[in-house]
Amino acid sequence: MLMAIDIGNTNTVVGVFDGIRLINHFRVASNHSFTIDECGFIITGLLERLNIDKDKIDQVAVASVVPSLTPIFEKMLNRYFQITPLIISSKLKLPIKIVYHDPTAVGADRIANAVAGFSRVNGAVIIVDFGTSTNFDVVTDNGSFVGGVIAPGPRTSGLELARKAARLFEVRLEKPERVIGRSTAESIKSGLFYGAIGQVDLIVQLILDELGFSAKVIATGGLAEDFAPHSRFIESIYPTLTLDGLRLITDYQTV
């Protein structure tokens, strides 16, 4: 079995595959001060609660955008699973071509999303990943990852707004009852929600204009189900797209 680990700035998502089937997955906070043993206790404990035998896991793939956590997870996997993980990067053999000024600068999560997105639609695709940042990754119909856009995510924008403005505060990220807020909280909620939707739709439109050809638009990420259904362009949501990409990349190493 393969354990796929997606280490993000806010959350870490772990999935276990039996062949191509995702048995189960879970999400934990990305504690940047994790020790090796804390990390091991959490991961092994959650696997046990999900009735997944850790001894049946014989492969691990890791996509990390948190450099300080990457060695912690590597050492944890060696200690608790006796496995040296496959660390996802542009240096691996990939089923897509990265056409970027510096391929090594592309985040592992973006690589995994591009691989899985291209595989899902079997053609040109724009992947919108709603997380700490909102990432737009573009793959052409010949499998070339040509780049994309990175923008602040809705929750990041809300936290920064509350931090910088003394009289403003955090609100729940959800669709408001009306666009015109009748209180400060309603106004902030409306601005964050519709600002995020407007940002996504404008950026996707500009990407399509620049490409000059059509592309499927799909979404993933922890906030995708809250925002993607309200976009004019996003056609499908794949919550485990990044994990699927890790599996595909791992399988491709033996092709």
Closest CA to 70 of 58, 88, 55, 53: 88
User: Could you say which of 6, 109, 129, 137 is catalytic?
Assistant: 109
Asked if residue 220 lies in contact with residue 129, where contact means CB atoms within 8 angstroms, the answer is yes
**How many other CB atoms are there within 10 angstroms of residue 70's CB atom?**
17
Q: Is 109 a catalytic residue?
A: yes
CA–CA dist 117, 122 (Å, integer): 8
CA–CA dist 175, 96 (Å, integer): 36
CA–CA dist 167, 175 (Å, integer): 22
Phi/psi of residue 105, each to 5°? -85, -10
> Which residues have a catalytic role annotated?
109
